[in-house]
Amino acid sequence: MNFSANERRSNTASELPSQTGRTLLNLREMLLRGDFQPGERLSELPLVARLGVSRTPIRLALDRLANEGLLEIWPTGGFVVRAFTLIDVYDAIEMRGVLEGTAARLAAERLQEPRELVSLRSLQEELEMVMPLAPALPPTIDSFAHYLDLNESFHSTLVDLAKSPMLRRTLDRVQSLPFASPSATVFARLKLPKAKELLTIAHEHHNAIIEAIENRQGSRAESLAREHACLALRNLEAVLADKEVLSSVPGGSLIRMPGVA
């Protein structure tokens, strides 16, 4: 079948967003997995050969990752993998707590019908069924992956209830940084002392947040959501002190430890 020049341009344009999205996801995963080291320079041409896509989606993905804060623009061209200090990590988690707290408060203040909480309750019920430390359901790779997906969905649905696109955009940017997403330290938490206790507390927080929103208790919902985010801070020092555990955390390789050049 022969296509005109206009049709070929149209087809290429329609494919570009999906190519850029896939390239962005692949590069972000590679960065958080540790395929590139802090300070390493990334250029378009080597990435074209490595990922098998054209320069345009590579360029757009690199620009987006620089905007998210995972890369820095090199003065003479290209990009450099960013290193994060412990203060950066603490601040990222702290900011997530502030923003999710605001989301919970707005959700309570803007709730119109109790049925708006149906999705959040359903996710919480599923989380309790696949909880990694539930005695009746020993965790597997698939069940744990499902648990992480449900946990991310719970937090995302909470933000949806705030009915604030501005808050959503800001939180998405913060959560792109290492350790900042709601599930960033969940896997590591399973390997730490008191793992069952901390997971139980996390689930109690979820239930309390739902209850506070249903009762239109904005200040309480905000306080609970911020306390919930602080669980990540409680785990952070233990995670950073154990190299094996740290290696299992997305973005762990990007953390610049004190005394390491």
Q: Is residue 134 scored above 80 in pLDDT?
A: no
Please check whether residue 3 lies inside any domain of the structure: no
Domain end call among 38, 66, 81: 81
- 105: pLDDT confidence band, cut at 50, 70 and 90? very high
Of 47, 84, 83, the residue nearest 63 (C-alpha)? 47
Whether residue 122 is found in the same domain as residue 55: no
- 2: pLDDT confidence band, cut at 50, 70 and 90? very low
161-205 tens-digit pLDDT: 999 999 999 998 888 776 788 877 665 556 666 667 778 888 999
Whether residue 238 is found in the same domain as residue 136: yes
How many domains is the chain partitioned into structurally?
2
Whether residue 21 is found in the same domain as residue 55: yes
Whether residue 127 is found in the same domain as residue 183: yes
> Is-contact 127 151, C-beta < 8 A?
yes
What is the predicted pLDDT for the residue at 7?
Answer: 40
Please give the C-alpha separations between residue 180 and each of 25, 62, 96, 110, 252, in angstroms, as whole numbers: 17, 20, 7, 26, 11
CA–CA distance, 223 with 47 (Å, rounded to integer): 44
Burial class (CB in 10 A: 0-12, 13-18, 19+), 189: buried
Please check whether residue 167 lies inside any domain of the structure: yes
Please check whether residue 259 lies inside any domain of the structure: no
Please check whether residue 172 lies inside any domain of the structure: yes
Please check whether residue 136 lies inside any domain of the structure: yes
What is the predicted pLDDT for the residue at 128?
Answer: 87
Whether residue 192 is found in the same domain as residue 96: yes
Whether residue 99 is found in the same domain as residue 200: yes
44-102 tens-digit pLDDT: 889 999 999 999 999 999 998 888 788 998 888 789 998 888 888 889 889 999 999 99
What's the CATH number where 71 sits? 1.10.10.10
Whether residue 216 is found in the same domain as residue 94: yes
Whether residue 77 is found in the same domain as residue 99: no
What's the CATH number where 237 sits? 1.20.120.530
Q: Is the pTM of this model over 0.85?
A: no
What is the predicted pLDDT for the residue at 140?
Answer: 57
Domain end call among 61, 81, 101: 81
Whether residue 42 is found in the same domain as residue 71: yes
Whether residue 69 is found in the same domain as residue 126: no
Please check whether residue 1 lies inside any domain of the structure: no
Whether residue 102 is found in the same domain as residue 149: yes
Domain end call among 56, 81, 106: 81
- Note the helical H segments in 69-164: 86-110, 118-129, 141-162
CA–CA distance, 78 with 63 (Å, rounded to integer): 10
Domain that holds residue 166: 86-254
Whether residue 59 is found in the same domain as residue 138: no
Please check whether residue 2 lies inside any domain of the structure: no
Strand-by-strand arrangement of the 41-42 sheet: 41-42, 79-81, 71-73
Count of beta carbons in the 10 Å neighbourhood of residue 12: 12
